[in-house]
Structure 1
Amino acid sequence: MNLIVIIYISSNIWLLILIANLFLVLVKDEIYDSQDFYIKLVYYTIFCVLFIGTLYAFISSFITGLTLNKETIIRTFILIVTNTILLIIDDKLHAHIKIKNEKSFLEQQNKVYENELKIIHQSNDIIKNLKHDMKNHLFVLQNLYTSGQHQEIEAYISTMVKQMDNGVFCNSGNFIIDSIINFKLGTIEKATISVNITIPDTLNIDNYTLTTILGNLLDNAIFALNSSHLKKLDINISYVMGNLVIMIDNSYNGVINNNLTTTKANKENHGVGLSSVRNCINNCEGELEISYDEEIFSVSIIIPA
């Protein structure tokens, strides 16, 4: 009977330690990420149930009068150790996936920043050259005006504007959105591109969420665009009644996967990208709508901002 009391007290101590550790981990490490918080809560709850069940089976064997033997102790110990190891492995895997996603985001963001700096330097060089040659340009424009060649004036000015805007598809004032769009669209060759953005300079959306959603959607659109004969891309982003509205229409080859996953060669990373987009939209309590016909694939997203 004394042995049963000792086991009962020990099991309760283990249970208290487990519960304390559960709340420490949840409150200290995961409270800032609601999705991770609930995932952790489910995992730890399952572990608690398994742990309590194991102890209950072990203790009840004595209460019902079963004989204590080495085999029973070993089996119970193995069950407890197994449950603990499974929890540790799951925790490590979850941490590894989170670190991997954060690393991927940082790498993508660094590329975006590098490209934006490159565009800024190119624009500065073009402006310097225009200032240096401005006298010559004005002289040409004056002669064209004097001779009444108004169409030539319009064409000349249009050429100058295009040279200044070379590599700049978006200049909304929102640094993150401008950087992502300029970086992604800079990789497209020979396509009809339309970009229409009317948003405030700052949005109530963290950079990680914005980069994940817009970056992955543009990756998918560009990939589909390159495999189509029409090669058309329309991007419309607006701010309506406290919501960020993103609409992307792109041409594609007319082939749709049944579950709208991927036709890319790199299916693993592409699947992760689509999953990240859906997770971000769900976390923001936003909405995602997909539609398509034989030539155009359309994605519409509404996110509180």
Structure 2
Amino acid sequence: MSKLIRGVKKVEFFVFFFYSIPEMFLILAFIATLSGYDFSKNVIPMALISILISCCIEFFRFIDLHAFIRLFLQLFMVVTLMRLAFGIVFARATICAIISLLILQMTELVTINTSMILFHTNLQELQNNPLLWVPTIWFILIVLASLLFIIKKYDFSIFHQRIRSHNINVFSFSSYLIFTAFFTFGIIGSQLLTQEKTQSIYTIIAIFIFQALSILMVNELIKSRVRKTELSVYKESLKDINSLFTTVRSQRHDFSNHLQVLYIFAKQGENEKILLYIEQLIGQIKSVNQILISDNPGLSALLQTKVAQFEQEGISIELNIGSTLTDTNIPMIELNQIIGNLLDNAADAIKLAGYPSNQIFLQTIRKNNQVEIKVKNYRPIIPSHLQQKVFEYGFSTKPKHSGLGLAIITNLVKKNKGNLLLVSNETVGTEFTIIFPVAGGSKIEQKTS
């Protein structure tokens, strides 16, 4: 009897080091990959976290905590450590952790059921036989590693969907669908495993009907949110255009006043005042002409609004519009989202840094079969260790900000087959460059740097 106990303890010790720890490492790798994070650069920290969590789980089992409490504590530890070690936001880490645990559950259910059928045994006998149990759990690791390899190879992440607005749902419909599928089959599989396949067919049908109805409901809710967001974007764009026309009408009204002033100066023989007044008018006309883009009223309205807004905040915009951007296939609203967010980010950075420089430069230019959009501010500089993180969903260097601005830009650029580049150093300043192909041009390789 004592030999049997010692043998069981040796198996448990073996399973802990050669299954529990690798299993936890794969779970963390799944979470990181599904979150859009490249864990290959931090394998050692992830391995240490895997050991720590595995030891804690064994301790929870030793003190005989309830299974539900153990699962909750495990989920809390995983999400917290992923946040602290790799900066993955809580909502994203939680969703990916739940999905990863469901993937693990499904893999274990299928593998263990298959082993029980092949070896004509039940679960308890399988666990008590090291010659059968060890190959079974190792096969689970092989399946998990294979799934991870496929997900990483094809760069799959449930958070790669296009971000439409700052009121974004925590997760998309596709991620909810994945979650529901794993959850449903997990319930059915666990019932079949624990109750030896006596689960009622009516209960299984009821589960499928309930989940199908919930999927339809969530899909309609998300569609409703999308339509509401698109409507608000159109209203904002229309507001900008109306503002532009109001400005043009007011300037036409002012033109008669300017003529009257010049007429009085001419009648009085004040030639110097006439010249000075005309020079001031020419300066205003040049400024207006930079903003008035006849074949792109949407962009013109946006720039008119931003110039007026930033002028009140003590920030000036220097415009160099070499391309009206009408030779691309990008919708006007999405183009305004990209440029507007870049300008807002530059202005926010200047204000947050205490106005080290109060100028923003916007340039659009066409080169061969491409158009370039450049937004630049000399200061502040983005530190090198943050230049990759600024594009991540939820990350922001500004307090109380959602961190969606650059994430929105990144997704819109990818959607329209463009390329987004960032240069930030003491010589150049902080410059974002976006390159799009012209209509009918070749696709640009997508990468963010």
TM-score range, shorter chain: 0.5 to 0.7
Match of 1:263 in 2: 397
Post-superposition offset of 1:118: 2.9
State the SS of the aligned residue for 1:172.
coil
Give 2:414's aligned residue: 282
Q: Distance between the aligned counterparts of 1:67 and 1:230, measured in 2?
A: 72
Instruction: Say if 2:361 and 2:376, in contact at 8 Å, map to a contact too.
Output: yes
Q: 1:171 aligned to 2:295? A: no
1:220 and 2:345 aligned = yes
- Give the deviation of 1:94 after TM superposition: 5.9
* 1:249 maps to 2:390: no
Q: Distance in 2 between matches of 1:42 and 1:217?
A: 29
Instruction: Give structure 2 stretches of 5+ with no counterpart.
Output: 1-159, 163-171, 439-449
Alignment of 1:201-220 (within 5 A): 202=326, 203-220=328-345
User: Secondary structure of 2:317's partner?
Assistant: strand
Aligned to 2:279: 158
Alpha-carbon distance, 1:49 to partner: 7.9
| Cα deviation 1:217-243 (Å, max 9, x = unaligned) | 122112112233211100001233343
* Equivalent AA in structure 2 for residue 198 of structure 1: G
Runs of at least 4 residues off by over 6 Å? 39-43, 45-61, 165-168
**Where does 1:1-305 land on structure 2 (aligned, <5 Å)?**
69=198, 72-73=199-200, 77=203, 81=207, 89=214, 92-93=217-218, 96-97=221-222, 99-100=224-225, 102-138=227-263, 140=265, 143-145=269-271, 149=272, 154-163=275-284, 170-173=291-294, 174-189=296-311, 190-200=314-324, 202=326, 203-227=328-352, 228-254=355-381, 256=383, 258=386, 259-260=389-390, 261-268=395-402, 271-294=403-426, 296-305=429-438
TM-score of the two chains, using structure 2 as the length reference: 0.46
CA-based RMSD of the aligned residues comes to 4.1
So what's the TM-score if we normalise by structure 1?
0.65
One-letter code of the match for 1:103? K
Cα deviation, residue 303, structure 1: 1.8
Aligned equivalents of 1:87 and 1:218: distance in 2?
44
Identical columns (%)? 18
CA distance in 2, matches of 1:302, 1:182: 23
CA contact (8 A) 1:144 1:153 kept: yes
Paired residues, number: 255
CA separation of 1:80 and 1:231: change in aligned 2, threshold 3 A: farther
Report the AA paired with residue 375 of structure 2: I
* Other structure's SS at 2:310 match: coil
Task: Report the Cα distance in structure 2 between the residues aligned to 1:67 and 1:157, rounded to whole angstroms.
Answer: 93
